[in-house]
Amino acid sequence: MIAHDLNRNRGPWCVVCAVEKRSSNHWFKIIDEPRVRMVAELDDQRPGDPVCGEACAVKKISEWMSARKARR
Protein backbone atom coordinates (compact mmCIF):
# COMPACT_ATOMS: atom_id res chain seq x y z
CA MET A 1 0.00 0.00 0.00
CA ILE A 2 1.16 3.51 -0.69
CA ALA A 3 0.25 5.80 2.19
CA HIS A 4 0.72 9.11 0.45
CA ASP A 5 -1.97 8.22 -2.08
CA LEU A 6 -4.48 7.90 0.74
CA ASN A 7 -3.98 11.32 2.25
CA ARG A 8 -2.52 14.20 0.30
CA ASN A 9 -1.97 16.24 3.43
CA ARG A 10 0.78 13.95 4.64
CA GLY A 11 4.34 13.40 3.58
CA PRO A 12 6.59 13.57 1.77
CA TRP A 13 8.61 10.73 3.18
CA CYS A 14 12.37 10.47 2.99
CA VAL A 15 13.39 7.80 0.46
CA VAL A 16 16.40 6.87 2.62
CA CYS A 17 15.12 6.66 6.20
CA ALA A 18 11.34 6.85 5.62
CA VAL A 19 10.78 9.67 8.10
CA GLU A 20 7.84 11.94 7.32
CA LYS A 21 8.40 15.63 6.72
CA ARG A 22 6.90 17.64 9.54
CA SER A 23 8.18 21.13 10.21
CA SER A 24 10.48 23.32 8.22
CA ASN A 25 13.62 21.27 8.60
CA HIS A 26 15.96 21.25 5.64
CA TRP A 27 14.67 18.79 3.10
CA PHE A 28 16.12 18.31 -0.34
CA LYS A 29 15.22 16.49 -3.50
CA ILE A 30 17.43 14.02 -5.37
CA ILE A 31 17.00 14.36 -9.11
CA ASP A 32 18.32 11.79 -11.55
CA GLU A 33 19.13 12.67 -15.12
CA PRO A 34 21.19 10.67 -17.60
CA ARG A 35 24.69 10.30 -16.11
CA VAL A 36 23.85 12.87 -13.43
CA ARG A 37 22.42 12.76 -9.91
CA MET A 38 21.90 16.08 -8.24
CA VAL A 39 20.54 17.66 -5.10
CA ALA A 40 17.89 20.34 -5.45
CA GLU A 41 15.60 22.28 -3.18
CA LEU A 42 12.54 20.30 -2.17
CA ASP A 43 10.17 22.60 -4.03
CA ASP A 44 12.03 22.19 -7.31
CA GLN A 45 9.47 21.37 -10.01
CA ARG A 46 11.43 18.49 -11.54
CA PRO A 47 10.47 14.96 -10.43
CA GLY A 48 12.74 13.50 -7.79
CA ASP A 49 13.08 11.70 -4.49
CA PRO A 50 12.66 13.68 -1.24
CA VAL A 51 15.35 13.29 1.42
CA CYS A 52 15.09 14.59 4.96
CA GLY A 53 18.39 16.40 5.24
CA GLU A 54 22.08 16.53 4.49
CA ALA A 55 22.91 13.04 5.81
CA CYS A 56 20.32 11.32 3.64
CA ALA A 57 21.15 13.48 0.62
CA VAL A 58 24.82 12.55 0.95
CA LYS A 59 23.88 8.88 1.27
CA LYS A 60 22.04 9.02 -2.05
CA ILE A 61 25.01 10.71 -3.71
CA SER A 62 27.39 8.12 -2.22
CA GLU A 63 25.26 5.27 -3.53
CA TRP A 64 25.34 6.78 -6.98
CA MET A 65 29.10 7.28 -6.94
CA SER A 66 29.69 3.72 -5.70
CA ALA A 67 27.48 2.35 -8.46
CA ARG A 68 29.37 4.34 -11.08
CA LYS A 69 32.72 3.15 -9.79
CA ALA A 70 31.55 -0.47 -9.76
CA ARG A 71 30.74 -0.24 -13.47
CA ARG A 72 34.31 0.54 -14.48
Question: Considering the complex, what minimum distance in angstroms separates the CB of residue 43 from Zn ion?
Answer: 17
Nearest to 39 by CA among 54, 24, 22: 54
Which residue spans within the chain are E strands per DSSP? 28-33, 36-41, 49-51
Number of residues that bind Zn ion (CB under 5 A): 5
Site string for Zn ion, 2-41 (x = CB under 5 A): ------------x-xx------------------------
Phi, then psi, of 29 in degrees rounded to 5 = -130, 135
Binding region for Zn ion (CB under 5 A): 14, 16-17, 52, 56
